[in-house]
Chains A and B, each alone.
Chain A
Amino acid sequence: MSTAAVSEEPHVALDGVIRQYDGPPAVHALGPIDLAIRRGEFFSVVGPSGCGKSTLLDVLCGLARPTSGSVRFEGRELHGEVPDGIGVVFQEDASMPWLSVRQNVAFGLRTSNLSPKEVAERVDHAVSFMGLAQFAGHYPAQLSGGMRQRVCIARTLVLRPRLILLDEPFGALDQQTRLLMGDELLRLWCETGATVLLITHALDEAAMLSDRVGVMSARPGRFIDMVETGWPRNRDSRIVSDPEFGTVTARLWSSLREESLKTMGRAA
């Protein structure tokens, strides 16, 4: 496990990315977007509902091709396929109800060339890391929503991704659980040294977790503000009591308010 700090080298880069959906009616969902996420950075994206945050994630990981522009991961251009080294955690529950927690986590390694011993080691580590050791034999239906989401994160972790994309993974959880899951996410980020991109609609979550937050406009989504938080790398949810936290959150809201009103069809 690495604890490497953020480097200036771009890990993922979007250059003039536009995403349109064919009609009728044709929808211009995203862009143009130019963005460089640094290696080891914790980057969050906030924006009004329907602004194209999830579309951005799909384009970033290769699930969707940009209509124009290019996406580069570790210097290589993506062409509509998810490359090795990217792990995705979705907003919806993506645990498999027919598999136990352990089998769900090991699912990520079914196509790997690892020996059974190595698979077992990685799975044990991921299960313990996410605090699921005593539930390893349980099935998802026996777990809470937060625990099921931890299973999905553990399944991503065993792949040892260099880029972790999270699409509102705590959207269905209560506030306390979100704060605690945020702590676990920060611990995971520190230990793995991976680059993290978090899509969220919660400004406090973005402010608490991120090195940098990108604020998106109403559709078609573009970045209208970039907020550097300046938090130390070893941080946790207690950062919310830092006076600077309020300043960061306030700036995010002031950038976002007008765009949210546009989404609701009202003038600022």
Chain B
Amino acid sequence: MTRRLAALLVRIAVLAGLVATLEICCRTGIIDPLTVIPPSDMVASMIDHVGSGEFNEGIVNTFSTIVLAFVLAIGCGTLAGALIHRSLRLRDVADPLLASYYSVPTFIFYPLLVALLGLGKAPLVVLGVLSAAPAVMISTLSGLDGVSPVLLKLARVQRLSPARTLWWIVLPAALPRLFSGFKLALSYALIGVIAGEFILSGSGLGYAISFAYQSFDNRAMYGLMLFVLLAAVIANGVLYVWEGRLARRRSNG
């Protein structure tokens, strides 16, 4: 058995153990089932609510907003990172701002965004981009810093145009670090959008969870929470596997 497989099995066992413990605690009354419902009920509730189709519109709304915020964050973050990388003066200004960016709770700007952009998708997308783009900028800067100068010299020796140098050398060389930023950006975009919906929006999964919470509908709330959790885990899992393949090729195959 490989070390990676062993670690995966241990991870699954720990998770299964925690879920089983929670199930037992809920079933035996150690945890008040009015506060937390058993995990098996959460699964049943998720299947009922998602399967019924009543949340289809919310699901589509939420995930399309997340994807839009994620894609825009990658585009804007990569572009901004590349521009900052090219200018030493801009770098001097941006570095401390980027380093302290995540100490600012971006959600506090949501009312302002609603006032500026109205209710609907736009403020949520902006909130998602504001949450995710700095991670992409930081990883772009780190990725570009990490491109070996000798590879850039090689590009000149081979008389590559700037576009070919970027496409054939800079991007592939920076990809592992860029990818780390993309992974973080997905998480931040998801958190930004769901939290935004939770606070003020009138639609989407975040709003549905908030509505269920305020209506004391624990079963629906936990079912939807589990659905969001699973979606986040699956999306991150796909990126994680992809990143792992890239890293293995570059380390020891």
Measured CB to CB, the residues of A under 8 A from B are: 61, 63, 81-82, 84, 86-88, 90, 92-94, 96-98, 107-108, 110-111, 138-139, 141-142
Contacts and interface: CB of A to CB of B under 8 A. Distances in A.
A141 B173 CA distance: 14
A98 B157 contact: no
B253 A98 contact: no
A86, A87, A96, A138: which has the most chain B beta carbons within 10 Å? A96
A98 B150 contact: no
A110 B168 contact: yes
Contacts of A111: 158-160, 164
Interface string B124-151: 0000000000000000000000001011
Given A87-B157, A92-B148, A98-B172, 6 more contacts: A82-B157, A92-B150, A94-B148, A94-B150, A141-B252, A142-B252
A139 to B, nearest CB: 5
Interface string B149-176: 0110110111110001000110011010
A63 B156 CA distance: 7
Contacts of A142: 252-253
A90 B153 CA distance: 9
A82 B150 contact: no
B249 A98 contact: yes
A82 B155 CA distance: 10
Looking at chain A's contact residues, the main secondary structure is loop
8 shortest A-B CB distances, which residue pairs?
A92-B150, A97-B250, A98-B172, A94-B150, A88-B157, A142-B253, A90-B150, A94-B154
A87 B158 CA distance: 8
B151 A96 contact: yes
Interface of B: 148, 150-151, 153-154, 156-160, 164, 168-169, 172-173, 175, 246, 249-253
B250 A93 contact: no
27 contacts: A61-B157, A63-B153, A82-B156, A82-B158, A82-B159, A88-B154, A90-B153, A92-B148, A93-B150, A94-B148, A94-B154, A96-B169, A96-B172, A97-B249, A98-B173, A98-B175, A98-B246, A98-B249, A98-B250, A107-B168, A110-B168, A111-B159, A138-B253, A141-B251, A141-B252, A141-B253, A142-B252
A157 to B, nearest CB: 14
Contacts of B156: 63, 82
Contacts of A82: 156-159
B91 to A, nearest CB: 21
A141 B246 CA distance: 12
Contacts of B249: 97-98, 139, 141
A93 B159 CA distance: 19
A86 B253 CA distance: 33
A237 B156 CA distance: 33
Contacts of B251: 141
Nearest to B169: A96
Contacts of B153: 63, 88, 90, 94
A201 B158 CA distance: 26
Contacts of A141: 249-253
Contacts of A93: 150
B160, B169, B250: which has the most chain A beta carbons within 10 Å? B250
B248 to A, nearest CB: 9
B157 A63 contact: yes
Given A93-B150, A98-B173, A81 B252 contact: no
Given A139-B250, A141-B252, A94 B151 contact: yes
A141 B168 CA distance: 19
A142 to B, nearest CB: 5
A11 to B, nearest CB: 18
A242 to B, nearest CB: 35
A82 B172 CA distance: 24
A114 to B, nearest CB: 14
Contacts of A108: 158
A218 to B, nearest CB: 25
Contacts of A92: 148, 150
Contacts of A81: 159
B5 to A, nearest CB: 21
Contact of A96 (B157, B164, B173, B253): B173
B197 to A, nearest CB: 39
Contacts of A110: 164, 168
A96 B165 CA distance: 13
A95 B246 CA distance: 16
B253 A139 contact: yes
A61 B173 CA distance: 25
Nearest to A87: B157
